[in-house]
Copies of this chain bind each other. A is one copy, B any other.
């Protein structure tokens, strides 16, 4: 069994989703891992990872609308507002989703379902540079 890691740099355009499924799939393919485990890790506290529906863009719009209502920007109960009205909401939205994912690999492919895509979800309003670590361990074909 062998392992390796790679850093994926993401330039977000502000709040919203960046599909990184292709990055993850390319990593597995280039490393030649046939069977194993992929770990994806987001090195931030105001951007998160989400595996969700990859077909209808309305799903992502509905996610934004729901989370904006659940954790309102500028909520007067928040004390930590150093970086603005979206600072604390970004932390909470990150906590409600995840910063790490684990996905098995079989027959040289990620075991994602047909409708599953891997996204980095930027929760800050302004564009940010984000780093995602991908780690794979497994066996060759």
Contacts and interface: CB of A to CB of B under 8 A. Distances in A.
Interface of A: 1-5, 35-37, 39, 41, 43-45, 50-53, 56, 58-59, 61-63, 65-66, 69-71, 77-80, 82, 88, 91-92, 94-104, 106, 111-113, 115-116, 131, 133, 135, 137-139
A45 B39 contact: no
Contact of A58 (B80, B94, B96, B137): B80
Contacts of A2: 1
22 contacts: A5-B106, A37-B137, A39-B102, A43-B112, A44-B113, A44-B116, A45-B53, A50-B95, A51-B99, A51-B100, A59-B80, A61-B79, A62-B77, A62-B92, A63-B92, A65-B77, A65-B78, A66-B88, A66-B92, A99-B116, A100-B101, A100-B102
